[in-house]
Structure 1
Amino acid sequence: MIPEKEDLKSNYNVPNLERGLQIIELLATHPKGLTLTEIIQTLDVTKSSAFRITNTLIFKNYLQKNETSKKITLSRKLLTLGISSMNEQSIVELSIDIMRALRDELKESVMLGVVLGQTGTILEQVSSSFPVKLYVEQGTHFHLHSSVGGKSILAFMPEEDAKPIIDGISFTKLTKNTIISKKTFKEELLQVRQKGYAIDNGEDIQGIHCIGAPIFNEYGYPVACLWITAPHGRLPHEEFEAKGKIILRYALEISLKLGYIAR
């Protein structure tokens, strides 16, 4: 006999796990965070229970706490899980037509990628209309310190999310132009933030240039990057600024589709 739904709930639910999920769901609707007191008042849970559960989730890196404001928010770990799921279902679907339009305007290969943990991943690409092009398989990983994908996303991440990722980068030298210093990399991120777009000056593959801009979700969080890639002869330094502004415009179109409100 198959147990009724009510029997399953009464026999198999774990109260603290259920409360933990309620706290996560609550914080998902409050991106700026809530204090422990606010969580207790909203969910009507005891102080001791809420304290134990939130501290366990903080210890396991699912939540994070700002010691100044005492606000508790979802961590990068949970955001990563959410982004991973969202990528497959919506970012590519919402981006593909815009990627094709960008390819048609600039004629170069267009890539869409995300940062997951300490590496980047290619989600989708639209190939160049030129006979000579760079082709990359979906799911291919890319280095964060030498790519426009890594630079664009890290430059606009909150400091508390970006710092542990940057601290974990090994800064491996891939070409003569690769940034191999954390200090120089941080200076590069400041420039990316000022311009709105990032440059790969043959830092990942010698002779290949890339220009990319971040894509933001409804909370203004950088969830992906849109970029073009081409041989340096077709994408010379003197064209970086003009084409960077074009890519920035297309990336904003995708962001708006994701619910981002431009400021």
Structure 2
Amino acid sequence: MAAKGDRSDSDAVGKALRLLCLLGEHPEGVGVSRLARDAGYPVSTTHRLLGSLQRDGFVRSDGESRRYSLGLRMFELGQRVSQARGFTGVALPVMRRVTELTGEPTLMSVLDGRHQLYVHHVQGPRRIRVIGEPAKHGPLHCTSMGKCLIAFAPDEVRAELVEELELTPLGPATITDRARFREEIDRVREQGYAVSDEEHEAGIRAVGVPIVGPGGTALAALSTPAPAYRVTMRELTGSLPFLLEAAAELAVLLPTV
């Protein structure tokens, strides 16, 4: 059984981590009152935790606006993780090559609980663009990358997500029926790629593939999205050879841990 002091320390760490996560949602900065309200903490507790985090460089504050935001220490740690995972140095050149071949953006994401976390985004040359902002979370059930991450997740994770993931209708064609969703994930696993035709957002189509590691589970996923008015689904799936080639290359180059 943990000592009382241990529990207090653990609670403080958990609260501080929650503040960091909330600050990540406000890159422009946020006031202490708003942050305290969102976290559900007293203002005094929030202010004390922010002071500790600021002292160590995890948080910074603007004296004029009195807004808090993530500090350079968080950026430094993020860069170290990205380099260790091989995403920055390895993935971006491969993704840029895909975009050169398709003329459309290339996105990369990883599984993070019941969401996907966008890791990288290479912008296409067109004026109308589709963006997957790095470090932001997105849904799994209605996106091509999300479906790939589910279909090629470890067996127990896949089973849980298929049966328990909330199938919130986000686009006009979102699959919200559990039986249909189960069939969709089986199809993705069988064919090795996924499509999303206005399921996540009206007017947006995408095709995605998993980056499968040695154990047969997805390390990440890649996708090519495009506006529906410009590209038919059949034309978009023409990007599959480029995506599959890139995924095979990254499966060898990316670390598995």
Is the TM value for this pair above 0.5? yes
Write the letter of the residue equivalent to 1:136: G
Unaligned runs of 5+ in 1: 1-84
Unaligned runs of 5+ in 2: 1-80
Alpha-carbon offset, residue 103 of structure 1: 0.3
**Partner of residue 177 from structure 2, selected from 166, 181, 189:** 181
**Partner of residue 190 from structure 2, selected from 191, 194, 215:** 194
Q: Classify the secondary structure of the residue corresponding to 2:86.
A: helix
Q: Classify the secondary structure of the residue corresponding to 1:244.
A: helix
**Partner of residue 142 from structure 2, selected from 120, 136, 146:** 146
Q: Does 1:89 align with 2:85?
A: yes
For 1:37, the equivalent position in structure 2 comes to none
Cα separation, 2, equivalents of 1:191 and 1:259: 27
**Partner of residue 99 from structure 1, selected from 91, 95, 101:** 95
For 1:254, the equivalent position in structure 2 comes to 250
Write the letter of the residue equivalent to 2:170: L
Larger radius of gyration: 1
Alpha-carbon offset, residue 116 of structure 1: 0.8
- Contact 2:171–2:201 (CA under 8 A) maintained in structure 1: yes
**Partner of residue 233 from structure 2, selected from 229, 233, 237:** 237
Alpha-carbon offset, residue 220 of structure 1: 2.8
For 1:213, the equivalent position in structure 2 comes to 209
Question: For 1:214-248, what per-residue CA distance to the aligned partner results, in whole angstroms no more than 9, with x for missing partners?
Answer: 01223332111011111013331222442223312
For 1:38, the equivalent position in structure 2 comes to none
Task: Point out the more displaced range, 105-114 or 91-100.
Answer: 91-100
Alpha-carbon offset, residue 87 of structure 1: 7.8
Cα separation, 1, equivalents of 2:90 and 2:144: 21
Cα separation, 2, equivalents of 1:211 and 1:129: 18
For 1:110, the equivalent position in structure 2 comes to 106
User: Between Structure 1 and Structure 2, how many residues are aligned?
Assistant: 177
Write the letter of the residue equivalent to 2:135: G
Alpha-carbon offset, residue 86 of structure 1: 6.5
Q: Classify the secondary structure of the residue corresponding to 1:215.
A: strand
Q: Does 1:119 align with 2:115?
A: yes
* Cα separation, partners in 2 of 1:218 and 1:94, compared to 1, 3 Å: farther
Cα separation, 2, equivalents of 1:185 and 1:93: 35
Cα separation, 1, equivalents of 2:165 and 2:84: 26
Question: For 1:115-171, what per-residue CA distance to the aligned partner results, in whole angstroms no more than 9, with x for missing partners?
Answer: 111111100100011111122321111111101121111112232121122333110
- Contact 1:117–1:165 (CA under 8 A) maintained in structure 2: no
What is the TM-score normalised by the length of structure 2? 0.64
- Contact 1:122–1:139 (CA under 8 A) maintained in structure 2: yes
For 2:163, the equivalent position in structure 1 comes to 167
Q: Classify the secondary structure of the residue corresponding to 1:133.
A: coil
Q: Classify the secondary structure of the residue corresponding to 1:149.
A: helix
Cα separation, 2, equivalents of 1:209 and 1:196: 18
CA RMSD, Structure 1 to Structure 2 (Å): 2.1
Cα separation, 2, equivalents of 1:218 and 1:152: 16
Write the letter of the residue equivalent to 2:217: Y
Alpha-carbon offset, residue 259 of structure 1: 6.8
Q: Classify the secondary structure of the residue corresponding to 1:173.
A: coil
Q: Classify the secondary structure of the residue corresponding to 2:221.
A: strand
Write the letter of the residue equivalent to 2:171: T
* Cα separation, partners in 2 of 1:153 and 1:136, compared to 1, 3 Å: closer
What is the TM-score normalised by the length of structure 1? 0.62
* Cα separation, partners in 2 of 1:99 and 1:193, compared to 1, 3 Å: same
- Contact 2:192–2:209 (CA under 8 A) maintained in structure 1: yes
- Contact 1:115–1:149 (CA under 8 A) maintained in structure 2: no
- Identity score, percent: 26
Task: Point out the more displaced range, 113-122 or 248-257.
Answer: 248-257
Alpha-carbon offset, residue 203 of structure 1: 0.4
